[in-house]
Amino acid sequence: MDATVADPVIGRLLDGRYTAQERLAVGGMATVYVAHDNRLDRMVALKVMHPNLMHEPDFVARFHREARAVAQLNTPRVVSVMDYGSAQTPAGVLNYLVMELVRGRSLRQHLGAHGHLDPYESLEIVEAVADALTAAHVAGIIHRDIKPENILLGDDGQVKVADFGLARPLAQPTAALTQGVVMGTVGYLAPEQVTHGTSDYRSDVYAAGVVLFEMLTGQLPHTGATPMSVAYQSVHGDVPAPSTIVPGIPRELDALVLRATARRPDARPADGVAFLEEIRQVLPYVGDAMPAGAAVASYQDEYAPPAAADRYAPTRMEARPGGLDEYHETPAYLDESGYPRDPGHPGGRGHREGRGGPDAGAPARRAHANAPRAGHRRDGLRVGGWRPPTWAWGVVAAVVALILVVLAARALVSGGAGGSVPLLTGLSKEDAEAELSTDGLKWAYGTPVNHPTIPEGKVVDQSPKGNATVEPGDTVTIILSLGPEKIPVPNLSGMSLEAAQDQLEAENLVFGGTQQEPSDDVEEDKIIRTDPPAAQPVIEGTQVTLVISSGKNEVQVPSDIIGKSYNEAKAELEALGLQVRRDVDQSGAVSRDRVARTSPDPGQTVKAGDTVTLFVSAGGGGDGSGVMVQVPDVQGRTWKDAERILRGAGLRPEKDWLSGWKNDRDKVQFTAPEGGTVVERGSKVSVRLN
């Protein structure tokens, strides 16, 4: 069955005003339709929430929040929301948004068709995104879901940002985690959104930086089999320079991407305003350049029109690896006749005569790139749309030639004075000096500063800034990086594990796991020390291992301690870290002042610091030699056999009949001390017969 025909919203009049005509996109939260506004006689996009979400307050609030957020923004860079409300239908109450209908396609579709883009086009698109973020951030709104699916490339050259459903005012809570679900697409989440569940303007800048990386390389900086593995990489790994994947990308563009995607929020541009300014500083260095031999897409490239059967197909897209939604919501784009088509394809009706390949229009783009950009704002990208006739290019060439002649004459008169400062950020000291020397400039060095991403010894700043106008012989002040700022590892000794983890997080250090070892001084389950050790300077984000006390050392009461003198036994126990207590033994098993027994018994395991009681003989046993022997086991033997064995062991056996009858054939019932007991040689052993 045709899903469009079966759709209960198609053909229905909502609120007496909007008639849904066809379905364009299906997302995890809503379906988007082309609709007619009967009151104003115009075509609009109608975004209708799925009925099963109507009773979910969080989703309803998000739906309404999108309308309120966009209503505060007055910029052509944002897809406008014209109305929102709810309507009663046989399927129940439906919440809907009425949005501007953008004719074109999403950046995701554009990347899917062409892979990666050339540096100039990538930078122009992200400039438009930063322009939209500027409007949002000035209004105090965080978008929180910048990604290619939400960046629309219009047929008229406009770039627009859509889907403010996750947007919130900065003053409101901005948790990225809601009931265990990450809000936003995981590949574009900033590290602080993953680790702390919070976001601010700099989180939007991070996402835009990832989008720029993806446009330049055709891939995300972090990938993995699961969203969790992608999130882990974003927290613990830096975004690589795009030129390491696509050689030939200008270093200025590398530096812009690395700064926008720095793991530490304070190392990024503060908001859309600052990001936009940095983009415009880099644009002149990129020009129309693209990596040599790279097969990259151009937003002006031609492509075949859709087949007739696909003209009304919904733009439903599969989830990207690492994403959380089964589908992305993709706004709908139509050509003038109502057919879905790609942007930059005039009329959606086949190849226009005289249309060039990816380099078509390059002279105009280069002229644009080299033009002064102070105060420059575009209403849209120079893509698609009208192309000038052939004779116009001749006029342009003549004008450019005239300008070059005038500039050359002026240079001759002034002796070649005037030029621009090269951008030195990220260069080594030697390379920076070589660049300046080539341009006839002098240099001096200012005080080095720390920087979270630029390595030690590389240029972090300069004055005048890159692209500034200078005269030959002028001096450029270079500021070198000291590398990331280092902080001392805090002293966590004696803390609980939980308190130590909190302290590490407060110091922007990473908990690196635990190790256990015994300690006589630190209480069990408390921190003994850290690795790296306390006070050692480390960079933020360093992993710190916590060494935790498993309690005091365990030792054994010596098994040969019986029969030793008290002083000798005491010294031996104290050397093991044990406390000693003295008590009296009246058994007479050993001679006076020798250890008759212990508590705990010899061979038993105790902890360092525990107390061992030495029972010292009061006298009466043994020959005083201190030689210890073991009482043989003679149970069940006759008296004669028992006497012979005991005397052979150096002991003094004595008869003790259990009954009044005395018979040498009686058997030994037991001895005192019993067999196996260690006593001093010459000690008396009582033999009980029966």
So which residues are the catalytic ones? 145
Asked if 103 contacts 24 with a C-beta cutoff of 8 angstroms, the reply is no
Q: How, if at all, do strands 652-657 and 684-689 pair?
A: parallel
Q: Which residue has the tokens 């047929």?
A: 155
Asked if 193 contacts 199 with a C-beta cutoff of 8 angstroms, the reply is yes
**Hey, CA dihedral for 327, 345, 158, 272, is it positive or negative?**
positive
Amino acid sitting at position 689:
L
| Terminal-residue alpha carbon distance, the chain | 105
Nearest to 592 by CA among 625, 572, 567, 621: 621
Burial grade of 430 (CB within 10 A; 0-12, 13-18, 19 or more): exposed
Asked if 210 contacts 107 with a C-beta cutoff of 8 angstroms, the reply is no
The radius of gyration computed from the CA coordinates of the chain, to the nearest angstrom, equals 42
Asked if 544 contacts 575 with a C-beta cutoff of 8 angstroms, the reply is no
The structure tokens listed for 172 are 């409101």
Ramachandran angles phi, psi of 155, nearest 5°: -65, -25
Q: Which residue has the tokens 């009208």?
A: 386
* Spatial distance between the Cα atoms of 510 and 505, rounded to a whole number of angstroms: 7
Q: How, if at all, do strands 168-169 and 317-318 pair?
A: unpaired
Alpha helices in 610-674 (DSSP H): 639-648
Residues, the chain:
690
- The helix/strand count (H/E) of the chain reads as 15, 35
The CB-side HSE value for 610 (13 A sphere, CA atoms) comes to 16
Asked if 170 contacts 141 with a C-beta cutoff of 8 angstroms, the reply is yes
3 state SS of 580: strand
What separation in angstroms does the CA of 620 have from each of 295, 624, 648, 674, 678?
Answer: 104, 9, 21, 18, 16
Alpha helices in 218-319 (DSSP H): 227-236, 251-260, 272-286
Amino acid sitting at position 596:
A
What crossing angle do the helices spanning 201-217 and 119-138 adopt, rounded to 10°? Answer: 170
Q: Which residue has the tokens 């994947």?
A: 245
The structure tokens listed for 63 are 């739906």
The structure tokens listed for 689 are 């017969």
* Spatial distance between the Cα atoms of 328 and 311, rounded to a whole number of angstroms: 20
Residue 310 is given by DSSP the state G
Residue 319 is given by DSSP the state P
Q: Which residue has the tokens 């305003």?
A: 273
